């Protein structure tokens, strides 16, 4: 069952096209996980996250400055190459300027019937953020109603919330299995599971996660666990890299990525009254992206808890080249982890992963963790 | 008890044979395209040098970029691990070890047992490594082996930016056009590499003693530039390019003892 997630990941475009044919529904591509999918699901829209393909490309140079992160350029390249030609709409929630540039370039050069910029507040720690976001969600809901021609009722919103919450609960359960001394799934498999949830009909995805959880109860991996690692960074679906790290004698047991745990960590706590307020609260409270984690650095204790609860012996910090918000957090994350006896390895990612060079570093890092006294 | 360490570097294969901790033989061969042939050639010359047969060896440990390509290895160790063990055995006071080879510059901090505490490795460009001096020597039309001595004749600082090996070469061309002397250009090149290496080492926070190993440590001009930049004395062993192989041999010795 668990192989399904990789199949979905590999065939994400075919899946979306077939979904459209089958349901006659609309597909919306989104650029950032602060997009409130609950409202889209309430209108029976399929939200899919726009991600890169990790291939060198030469089409974004006229549109995005070379010193913007490789991820935002890779995303735009997918649009310019026509790989998302089935989209009926695109949207972004404000996070960083780099990915917003990908969104605005897409809007300009690859026009779609619906495009929406949601001004998600950056200062989520302010008490004014909640009423602000709630008001923005009301406007957004109206825009979706206008686009789809469908009125979104309270029942629709409840359905959207429950579809999202169920998927989040199940993914948390799947991550919990990795706390075991012998995790029943590899970090690569967990990555495919989490990131495919951003591409597939949520209910269908949840059903397969539910089935997989049964399988995981008795599953044993063929390779020994080795060093237990946490990976930390922005978006990360560098499967080649993860595979290499795990083949060097380690298992990635948990992550802090927006393609991973940050995406599904917390639920919408709805009391059946003010639904939009409940949704807004969820996005204000979720494990933060560093663009929004100011002035208190709430990410740090969260990461420390993950490291403790999943019992990691080392941390790999994966940085997208030129990603300023994450760069700002790296010194304090490294310091805090290392003061708690968790060594860190810092690596900077470009669109393609230089596996040979990274492997040298990863092997040396793991050798260091094993603390083998060689004399 | 004989053991061997083999360091499959990007440009050269180096082999060290130990007998109870004493160096008994060394061998070296250019890496080239045929890794098997290079490994065998360096290995056989080390055996000959030590006056022993392959069967006399209890354990062989490989390291270096091509460490997995050595069919006859018993175990392998990373370049960083081998550098720490090798340098500590030569200079027990080493706490910061800098290694500059043909394609990579590395720095690591080690405890007194040769256990790696932290490390950094240069990024994509080879501008901070040995291949860069070779390219620059070609631009100056002098043998790379003469670069070091030549640069020591210069007493002048000439700013140069070695962020990229290709751009740096065009900078050298500009210096040639502005009639800068070869001595001054040679020094500018070593200063630029030293500056790049130092800035990488500073990411680790430097703890004394500092030991420099790797092929580029044979270049006295570069060693001077690095000392000047770090503003401290640096240990340099006699055969700095064999330290990785020595470290691997020490790992082999431990493995052989463990049985």
Helix (H) / strand (E) element for A17: namely: helix A12-23
Mean pLDDT across A5-10: 98
| Segments in chain B below pLDDT 70 | 123-127, 162-163
Tens digit of pLDDT for each residue in A187-208? 999 999 999 999 999 999 999 9
Confidence of residue A30 (pLDDT cuts 50, 70, 90): very high
Q: Of all helices (H) and strands (E), which one includes residue A67?
A: none
- Helix (H) or strand (E) holding B180, with range, is none
For residue range A246-302, what is the model confidence (pLDDT) as tens digits? 999 999 999 999 999 999 999 999 988 999 999 999 999 999 999 999 999 999 999
> pLDDT category, A91, cuts 50, 70, 90?
very high
> pLDDT of B19-33, one tens digit each?
998 999 999 999 999
The angle formed by the CA atoms of residues B240, B243 and B245, to the nearest 5 degrees, is 135
pLDDT of residue B191: 92
Integer angstrom CA distances of residue A117 from A129, A138, A148, A168, A220: 17, 14, 17, 25, 45
Q: Measure in Å the smallest separation between the Cα of B204 and chain A Cα atoms.
A: 12
- Percentage helix, strand, coil for chain A under 3-state DSSP, each rounded to 5: 50, 10, 40
- Determine, for residues B81 and A373 on separate chains, whether the beta-carbon distance falls below 8 Å: no
Phi first, then psi, for residue B57 (nearest 5°) are -80, 130
* Residues counted in chain B: 259
Q: Residue A367: list chain B partners with CB under 8 A.
A: 77-78, 80-81, 116
At B155, give phi and psi (nearest 5°). -115, 15
With CA atoms as reference, the chain A residue closest to B83 would be A364
Percent of chain A with pLDDT over 70: 99
Backbone φ and ψ for B237, nearest 5 degrees, come out as -70, 170
Residue B6: strand, helix, or coil: strand
For residue A255, the cross-strand partners are: A231
Contact A367/B79, CB-based, under 8 Å?
Answer: no
d(CA B63, CA B70) in angstroms, rounded, equals 9
User: In chain B, what are the domains?
Assistant: 1-91+239-259 (3.30.420.40), 92-236 (3.30.420.40)
Contact A363 B85 (CB under 8 A): no
Q: Which residues contact B219 (CB under 8 A, 6 or more apart)?
A: B133, B147, B148, B190
Interface test with B, best of A364, A369, A371, A373 (most B CBs within 10 A): A364
Question: Is omega for the bond preceding A295 within 30 degrees of 0, making it cis?
Answer: yes
Percent of chain A with pLDDT over 90: 91
Among B18, B76, B80, pick the best mutation site for testing chain A contact (most A Cβ within 10 A). Answer: B80
The predicted model scores a pTM of: 0.88
- Report long-range pairs for B37-40 (Cβ below 8 Å, ≥24 apart): B38/B8, B38/B13, B39/B6, B39/B8, B39/B13, B39/B66, B39/B69, B39/B70, B39/B71, B39/B72
Cα–Cα distances in angstroms (integers) from residue B56 to residues A133, A303, B2, in the given order: 75, 52, 6
How many angstroms from the chain centroid is the CA of residue A249? 25
How close A178 gets to chain B, by Cα (Å)?
A: 28
Q: Write out chain A residues lying below 8 Å of B90, CB-based.
A: none
Partner A contacted by B114 (CB < 8 A):
yes
Chain A nearest-CA distance from B88, in A, is: 11
Cβ–Cβ gap A368/B121 under 8 Å: no
B20: left (phi over 0), alpha (psi -120 to 50) or beta: left
Residue B105: how many other CB atoms lie within 10 Å? 25
Residue B249 and residue B5 in contact, taking contact as beta carbons nearer than 8 Å? yes
Provide the b/e sequence for B35-68 (b: ≥16 CB within 10 Å): beebbbbbbebbbebbebeeeebbbbbbbbbbbe
Which residues in chain A are closer than 8 Å to B63, comparing Cβ atoms?
A: none
Compute the distance between CA of residue A203 and CA of residue B259 in angstroms, rounded to an integer. 56
Mean pLDDT over A19-46 rounds to: 98
Confidence (pLDDT) at B3: 97
Query: Pick from B77, B124, B254: which is nearest to A375 by CB?
Result: B254
What's the CATH code, domain A22-152? 3.40.50.11890
Residue whose pair of structure tokens reads 């053991």 in the numeric block: B3
Domain spans, chain A:
22-152
The candidate with the shortest Cα–Cα distance to B24, out of B71, B66, B56, is B56
Give the mean model confidence (pLDDT) for residues A129-134.
98
Tens-place pLDDT, residues B180-234: 999 999 999 999 889 889 988 998 889 999 999 999 999 999 999 999 999 999 9
List, in order, residues 6 or more apart from B96 with CB less than 8 Å away.
Answer: B107, B108, B109, B110, B201, B204, B206, B207, B208, B209, B210, B211
Rounded to a whole number of angstroms, the distance from the CA of B160 to the nearest CA of chain A is: 23
Residue of A nearest to B125 (CA): A357
Burial (CB count <10 Å: 0-12, 13-18, 19+), residue B233:
exposed
Q: Answer whether A45's CB lies under 8 Å from A149's CB.
A: no
- The CA–CA distances, whole Å, from A283 to A153, A263, A265, A276 equal 21, 10, 11, 11
R_g over Cα of chain A: 20
The alpha-carbon gap from A374 to the nearest alpha carbon of chain B, in Å, equals: 6
Q: How much is the pLDDT for A372?
A: 57
> How far are the Cα atoms of A1, A110, A207 from residue A204, in angstroms, in the given order?
13, 29, 5
pLDDT of residue B247: 97
- Closest-CA residue of B relative to A356 is B65
Cα distance between residue B166 and residue A286, in whole Å: 46
Give the separation between CA A335 and CA A30, rounded to whole angstroms. 34
CA distance B244 to B236: 14
Q: What are phi and psi of B116, to 5 degrees?
A: -75, 125
Shortest distance, CA A346 to any CA of chain B (angstroms):
9
Residues 6+ apart with CB under 8 A from A332: A297, A300
Summary mean pLDDT of chain B: 92
Q: How far is CA B65 from CA A223, B12, B101, B104, B178, in A?
A: 25, 11, 11, 10, 40
Return the half-sphere exposure (C-beta side, CA atoms, 13 A cut-off) of residue A153: 3
Does the pLDDT value for residue A77 go beyond 90?
Answer: yes
Q: Does B156 touch chain A (CB under 8 A)?
A: no
Cα-Cα-Cα-Cα torsion A53, A54, A57, A63, nearest 10 degrees, comes to 70
In this predicted structure, what is the pLDDT of residue A44? 98
| Best B3, B116, B205 residue to mutate vs chain A (most A CBs within 10 Å) | B116
First-to-last C-alpha distance (Å) of chain A? 47
Decide the pairing of beta strands B75-76 and B2-8.
unpaired
């Amino acid at each position: 069952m668990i192989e399904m997630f990789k199949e979905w990941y590999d065939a994400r475009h075919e899946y979306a096209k077939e979904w459209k044919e089958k349901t006659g529904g609309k597909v919306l591509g989104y650029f950032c996980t602060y997009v409130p999918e609950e409202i889209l699901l309430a209108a029976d829209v399929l939200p899919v996250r726009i991600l890169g393909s990790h291939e060198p490309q030469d089409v974004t140079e006229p549109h995005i400055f070379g010193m913007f992160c490789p991820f935002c350029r890779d995303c735009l390249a997918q649009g310019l190459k026509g790989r998302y030609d089935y989209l009926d709409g695109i949207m972004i929630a404000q996070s960083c300027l780099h990915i917003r540039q990908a969104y605005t370039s897409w809007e300009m050069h690859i026009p779609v019937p619906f495009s929406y910029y949601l001004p998600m507040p950056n200062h989520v720690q302010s008490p004014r953020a909640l009423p602000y976001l709630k008001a923005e969600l009301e406007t957004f809901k109206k825009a979706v109603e206008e686009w789809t021609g469908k009125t979104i009722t309270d029942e629709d919103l409840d359905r959207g919330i429950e579809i999202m919450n169920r998927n989040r609960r199940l993914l948390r359960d799947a991550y919990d299995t990795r706390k075991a001394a012998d995790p029943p799934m590899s970090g690569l498999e967990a990555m495919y599971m989490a990131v495919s949830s951003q591409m597939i009909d949520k209910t269908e995805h949840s059903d397969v996660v539910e089935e997989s959880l049964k399988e995981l109860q008795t599953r044993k991996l063929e390779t020994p666990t080795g060093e237990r690692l946490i990976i930390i960074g922005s978006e990360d679906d560098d499967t080649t890299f993860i595979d290499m790290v795990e083949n060097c004698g380690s298992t990635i047991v948990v992550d802090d990525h927006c393609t991973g745990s940050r995406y599904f960590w917390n639920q919408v706590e709805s009391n059946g009254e003010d639904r939009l307020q409940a949704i807004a609260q969820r996005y204000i409270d979720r494990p933060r992206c560093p663009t929004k984690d100011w002035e208190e650095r709430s990410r740090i204790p969260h990461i420390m808890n993950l490291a403790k609860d999943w019992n990691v012996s080392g941390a790999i910090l994966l940085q997208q080249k030129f990603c300023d918000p994450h760069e700002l957090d790296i010194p304090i994350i490294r310091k805090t982890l290392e003061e708690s006896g968790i060594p860190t390895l810092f690596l900077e990612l470009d669109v393609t992963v230089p596996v040979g060079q990274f492997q040298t570093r990863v092997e040396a890092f793991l050798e260091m963790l094993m603390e083998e006294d060689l004399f | 008890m004989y053991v061997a360490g083999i360091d499959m570097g990007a440009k050269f294969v180096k082999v060290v044979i130990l007998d109870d901790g004493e160096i008994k033989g060394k061998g070296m061969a250019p890496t080239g395209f045929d890794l098997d042939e290079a490994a065998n050639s360096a290995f056989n010359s080390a055996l000959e040098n030590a006056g022993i047969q392959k069967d006399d060896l209890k354990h062989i440990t490989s390291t270096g970029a091509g460490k997995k390509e050595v069919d006859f290895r018993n175990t392998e160790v990373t370049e960083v691990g081998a550098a720490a063990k090798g340098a500590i055995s030569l200079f027990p006071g080493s706490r910061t070890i800098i290694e500059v080879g043909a394609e990579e510059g590395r720095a690591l901090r080690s405890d007194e047992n040769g256990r790696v505490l932290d490390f950094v490795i240069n990024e994509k460009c080879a501008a901070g490594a040995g291949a860069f001096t070779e390219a620059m020597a070609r631009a100056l039309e002098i043998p790379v082996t003469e670069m070091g001595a030549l640069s020591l004749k210069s007493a002048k600082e000439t700013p140069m930016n070695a962020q990229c090996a290709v751009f740096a070469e065009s900078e050298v061309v500009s210096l040639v056009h502005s009639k800068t002397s070869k001595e001054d250009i040679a020094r500018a090149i070593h200063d630029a590499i030293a500056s790049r290496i130092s800035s990488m080492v500073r990411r680790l926070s430097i703890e004394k003693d500092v030991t420099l190993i790797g092929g580029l440590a044979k270049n006295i001009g570069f060693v001077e530039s690095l000392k000047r930049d770090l503003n401290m004395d640096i240990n340099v062993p006699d055969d700095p390019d064999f330290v990785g192989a020595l470290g691997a041999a020490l790992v082999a010795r431990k493995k052989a003892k463990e049985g």
